[in-house]
């Protein structure tokens, strides 16, 4: 895989210009561009600038709303429900984080749900901002249109990969940042493997006949699906987690699969917790620091590398790429350059 490195600032500015050219207002475009580049900085390249071309297509074809007219359906001191009206899910999520952080000055636990948002991109990319504010963040997402994962023991795909993310302040060693799907893999990972003509790293897909496979092309077949997290052995755990995500996103937001949506979209659950409303930030960080130190000190299995904490690699990679440039896979850089050429926008020069 060939990669070139680019300035994160120049990538962000260029992505924002492309989004504005497609009809997004400046504020929305800046937020979306920043989150996409943040995902690439953290190494989540399937959900970073890889999404820019699909987003531009959605904007051009009118399926992503460019207006800023989401509806507040419910608003209490500790909860809110928004109808996103298919505005960028990235923008809506960042707006909800800002609003929830503000509310935690009065109440320690604030929960937002958003229905009919457009795609939300990389969930981990929102976590640094929350933990830097000294809060715990929990973020879940589902796509009520997508039927990609079969329930454990079944063959018919019913729901989406349903990612869950969390950010936890962790003291001087750094925070814990979690971002995992409740399925064996994400749809974006399958799509990238298919585009590159390579097998998946594991037998994570289920054919309509019930056999497992690592062939990403299998997901194109009628009735094929992604296995729940845990696969054929302990997939009942991933299946249960997937249902919890469905309840907290579409269930609490009041819009989901029963409504048979046709748009690419997201139901979102966001919760911000201020530890000062409990035993305090210092107590939380002391406990998590003790726990993460114990995890890192665990004797590695065999010749394995030392134990890491979720988020260690992403934050180390972010620091390295901020200094030396963002390493973009060749196909992502080429797609972005093509979008720039189409609009006569200068594409950033490789470092």
Q: What is the gyration radius of the CA atoms in the chain, in angstroms?
A: 20
Could you say which of 198, 226, 254 is where a domain stops?
A: 226
3-state secondary structure of 165: strand
Buried b / exposed e along 53-82 (16+ C-beta atoms within 10 A): eebbebbeeeebbbeeebeeeeeeeebbbb
**For a pLDDT cut of 90, what percent of the chain falls above it?**
92
What is the arrangement of strands in the sheet containing 109-117, beginning at the earlier edge strand?
71-75, 79-83, 109-117, 266-273, 136-142, 163-168, 176-181
Average pLDDT on 104-128 reads 98
DSSP-assigned letter for residue 183: B
pLDDT for position 220: 86
Written as six digits, the tokens of 343 are 């609009």
3-state secondary structure of 26: helix
Q: What is the CATH number of the domain that holds 316?
A: 3.30.1370.60
Q: Does position 106 have pLDDT exceeding 90, yes or no? A: yes
Average pLDDT on 223-251 reads 97
* 45 and 98, same domain (yes or no): yes
> What domain range is 272 assigned to?
9-184+227-276+312-343
Q: Does position 239 have pLDDT exceeding 80, yes or no? A: yes
The strand pair at 205-206 and 212-213 is best described as antiparallel
pLDDT for position 49: 98
Contact 117, 128 (CB under 8 A): no
Residue by residue, DSSP assigns 36-97 as HHHHHHTT-GGGSGGGHHHHHHHHHTT-SB-S---EEEEE-SSEEEEE-TTB-HHHHHHHHH
**What pTM, to 2 d.p., does this model score?**
0.95
* 116 and 204, same domain (yes or no): no
Summarised one tens digit per residue, pLDDT across range 32-64 is 999 999 999 999 999 999 999 999 999 999 999
* 84 and 197, same domain (yes or no): no
103: Cβ contacts below 8 Å, ≥ 6 apart: 77, 78, 110, 272
pLDDT for position 1: 57
Residue showing tokens 């696969």: 231
* 97 and 132, same domain (yes or no): yes
The strand pair at 71-75 and 79-83 is best described as antiparallel
Average pLDDT score, the chain:
96
pLDDT for position 303: 78
* 79 and 48, same domain (yes or no): yes
pLDDT for position 234: 97
How many helices (H) and strands (E) in the chain? 11, 12
Question: Based on the structure, what is the number of domains in the chain?
Answer: 2
Q: Does position 3 have pLDDT exceeding 80, yes or no? A: yes
Summarised one tens digit per residue, pLDDT across range 274-329 is 999 999 999 999 999 999 999 999 999 887 789 999 999 999 999 999 999 999 99
């Amino acid at each position: 895989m060939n990669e070139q490195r680019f300035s994160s600032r120049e990538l962000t500015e260029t992505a924002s210009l492309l989004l504005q050219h497609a009809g997004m207002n400046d504020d929305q475009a800046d937020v979306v561009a920043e989150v996409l580049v943040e995902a690439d900085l953290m190494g989540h390249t399937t959900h970073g600038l890889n999404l820019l071309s699909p987003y531009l297509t959605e904007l051009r074809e009118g399926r992503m709303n460019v207006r800023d007219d989401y509806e507040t359906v419910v608003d209490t001191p500790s909860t809110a429900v928004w109808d996103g009206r298919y505005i960028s899910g990235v923008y809506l999520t960042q707006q909800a984080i800002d609003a929830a952080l503000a509310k935690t000055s009065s109440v320690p636990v604030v929960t937002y749900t958003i229905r009919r948002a457009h795609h939300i991109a990389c969930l981990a990319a929102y976590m640094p901002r929350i933990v830097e504010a000294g809060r715990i963040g929990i973020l879940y997402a589902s796509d009520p249109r997508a039927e990609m994962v079969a329930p454990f023991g079944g063959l018919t795909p019913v729901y989406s990969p349903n990612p869950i993310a969390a950010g936890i302040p962790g003291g001087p060693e750094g925070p814990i940042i979690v971002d995992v799907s409740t399925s064996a893999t994400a749809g974006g990972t399958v799509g990238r493997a298919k585009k590159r003509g390579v097998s998946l790293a594991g037998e994570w897909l289920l054919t309509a006949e019930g056999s497992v496979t690592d062939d990403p092309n299998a997901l194109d077949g009628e009735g094929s699906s992604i296995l729940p997290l845990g696969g054929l052995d302990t997939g009942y755990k991933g299946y249960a987690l997937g249902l919890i995500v469905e309840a907290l996103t579409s269930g609490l937001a009041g819009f989901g699969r029963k409504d048979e949506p046709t748009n690419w979209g997201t139901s979102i659950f966001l919760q911000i917790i201020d530890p000062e409303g409990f035993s305090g930030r210092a107590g939380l960080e002391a406990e998590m620091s003790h726990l993460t130190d114990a995890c890192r000190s665990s004797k590695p299995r065999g010749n394995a590398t030392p134990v890491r904490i979720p988020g260690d690699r992403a934050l180390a990679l972010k620091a390295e790429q901020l200094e030396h440039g963002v390493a973009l896979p060749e196909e992502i850089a080429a797609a972005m350059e093509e979008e720039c050429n189409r609009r006569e926008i200068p594409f950033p020069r490789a470092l």
